[in-house]
Chain A
Amino acid sequence: MLRGLRQPFRTGVLLLVWTWLLALVLAPNLLVIGASFLTRDPGTFLSLPVTLENYRNLLDPLYLEVFLHSLYMASITTLVCLLIGYPFAWALSRVAKDRQLLLIFLLIVPFWTNSLVRTYALKLLMATNGLINTGLMELGLIDGPLRMLYTEGAVIVGLVYLLLPFMILPLYSVFDDLRRELLMASHDLGAGRFRTFIHVVIPLTLPGVLAGVMLVLLPAMGLFFVPDILGGSRNLLVGNVIKNQFLDARNWPFGAAAAIMLTLAMALLLFTHRLSQRRLGEEGDV
């Protein structure tokens, strides 16, 4: 009797959840994988025959250049985020606990606010008649306006500005777990500050670094609106290519192939991350 009452609820819940995820997560993803092996068709978007042409086209020098340039900008973005974020996370973990909460809150506020609006705010600062140029000219430091907007640098600044919190948060969590006794032990054993940093701090914070890299590097290649607003037509990201193929050129198979390359890159990073975590785990719980 009791079980009879229990089952419909359970069945209903599971049915709803499975239906949603299968229809709106699994099916669309399989569709994209399938599309990447099909041929472009102006009418129905996709048609036979099955082909590897789309993946071959990714190696076309024209696109290859865009992908490599995109990877380059994303890598610089990740590096800058790491260089800013690493000392930041360390400093944050040393602040008194009650103040840490407020500081972390201040860090996630930007994450909650519209990223488009924040990118636009950067444009206000960097435009030819923007605040930085006007200010510098009024101070007499420069004669004419500097060209900041529509450069590679502008795109990187935009990406760093949007993605920095994603680097800092995982780094903060590893620094927060870093036990001070370990540093003292290293000191007692005669290691200097530099050796302690190389042999103790870096290995222990490595999982945080990898997690941060994962959360910055790939999203940095997809945020197509950043180059649209700050970068002009020469500093495109993979995201811009995918968007153009799907919305303008209507070449789904090629867009799908580009998206799958991006997903595979993500999977590779995740795999490395898992592997490194397992290795660190095996080295003994320190």
Chain B
Amino acid sequence: MTRWLPRAYLALVYLALYIPIAVLVVFSFNDGRTGYRWGGFTWRWYEALFTNDAMMQALWNSLWLAVSAATLSTLIGALTALALHRYRFRGKKALKGMLFVVMMSPEIVLAISLLSLFLLVGVQLGYFSLLLAHVTFCLPFVVITVMARLSGFDESLPEAARDLGASDFTMTRTVLLPVIMPALLAGWLLGFTLSLDDVVVSTFVSGPGYEILPLRIYSMVRVGLKPEVNALGSLLLVFSLLMLVLSQWILMRSKR
């Protein structure tokens, strides 16, 4: 079999995946007025973005939500992973099952189930409802990341710590925490990105008082083509890419 054919095929698929993204970024600098012809380089769409107060408010709301959701889900997710790894308790399978359900069920099902809960219990739709929802869908990813790290962990270390008289809490803080730190960072970054990019769940559980970026983009792109969206989309792409590179770098470095 020829060697170049598979490679050419790989290259072709990668091109198809990346061309739309590249076009988006290139055209965010396009000064053309009509259609999608190149009309010279400009920063003006980025300027329009940064001087748009509602847009900046949505950006800050999104970032704050992503930071708080990532932090909370990392905390709860890490504790869940520790519990699953170390403790024997009744219903362990059920616990794993529920995390699996969150990961596998279609996003839209999670979205409507949370919306029903919030409205029936009386949780006002806004920052708090978004936070609860985002933490919930980030949780399984953090748990998996931390569990993977724990599974390669030398069991004799916590035993030794305990033999030396350390309490469970002290042992966790001084022995386990340093070991799982890279997984915590990677999990946090993953949660941050998932939260920042979520459209489906947020569409359902957000309220008029707390507008976030993906929903603002959604309402803009349904109508037509908007150059500001090119600029905003490009910024988000660059941002997500940085996050991804950072998290992979942390994980790779910790493996050495």
Contact = CB atoms under 8 A, between A and B. Distances in A.
Given A32-B112, A110-B21, A113-B197, A103 B236 contact: no
Count class of interface residues, chain B = 35 or more
B104 to A, nearest CB: 7
A123 interface: yes
A18 interface: yes
Contact of B233 (A17, A18, A84, A114): A114
B172 A9 contact: yes
Given A27-B117, A45-B120, A117-B236, A263 B106 contact: yes
Interface stretch (A126-134, A195-203, A278-286): A126-134
A9 B20 contact: no
A255 interface: yes
Contact of B119 (A10, A45, A109, A131): A45
B112 A225 contact: no
Contacts of A274: none
Contact of B106 (A46, A219, A270): A219
A17 B222 contact: no
A55 interface: no
A212 interface: no
Contact of A116 (B23, B36, B117, B214): B214
A16 interface: yes
Interface string A218-242: 1101111100110000000001001
Interface stretch (B47-55, B74-82, B145-153, B177-185): B74-82
A164 B136 CA distance: 25
A84 B14 CA distance: 11
Contacts of B117: 24, 27-28, 31
Nearest to B190: A112
A72 interface: no
A193 B157 CA distance: 52
Contacts of B221: 116, 119-120, 123, 229
B145 to A, nearest CB: 14
A123 B154 CA distance: 51
Contacts of B159: none
B116 A117 contact: no
B60 to A, nearest CB: 17
Interface in B189-248: 193, 196-197, 199-200, 203-204, 214, 217-218, 221-222, 225, 229-230, 232-233, 236-237, 240-241, 243-244, 248
B83 A91 contact: no
B112 A256 contact: yes
B20 A116 contact: no
A61 B11 CA distance: 45
Interface in B62-98: 76, 79-80, 82-83, 87, 89, 91, 95, 98
A107 B101 CA distance: 25
Contact of B9 (A6, A13, A88): A88
Contacts, number: 228
B168 interface: yes
A121 B20 contact: yes
A239 B203 CA distance: 12
Contacts of A84: 13
Interface string B1-24: 000001101100110110111011
Contacts of B256: none
Nearest to A101: B252
B222 A124 contact: no
Given A112-B240, A124-B23, A124-B36, A13 B222 contact: no
A262 B104 contact: no
A79 B230 CA distance: 31
B24 A115 contact: no
Nearest to B100: A270
Among B37, B232, B233, chain A packs the most CB atoms within 10 A around the CB of B233
Nearest to B220: A120
B99 interface: yes
A265 to B, nearest CB: 9
A225 B218 contact: yes
Given A131-B36, A246-B204, A117 B169 contact: no
A24 B14 contact: no
Interface of B: 6-7, 9-10, 13-14, 16-17, 19-21, 23-24, 27, 34-37, 76, 79-80, 82-83, 87, 89, 91, 95, 98-99, 101-102, 104-110, 112-117, 119-120, 132-133, 135-136, 139, 162, 165, 167-169, 172, 193, 196-197, 199-200, 203-204, 214, 217-218, 221-222, 225, 229-230, 232-233, 236-237, 240-241, 243-244, 248
30 contacts: A5-B169, A13-B79, A18-B91, A20-B139, A21-B95, A28-B113, A28-B116, A29-B101, A88-B10, A91-B9, A103-B10, A103-B14, A105-B248, A112-B193, A113-B197, A113-B241, A114-B197, A114-B199, A118-B21, A120-B217, A120-B221, A124-B36, A124-B225, A129-B35, A161-B17, A218-B106, A228-B222, A229-B221, A266-B105, A270-B104
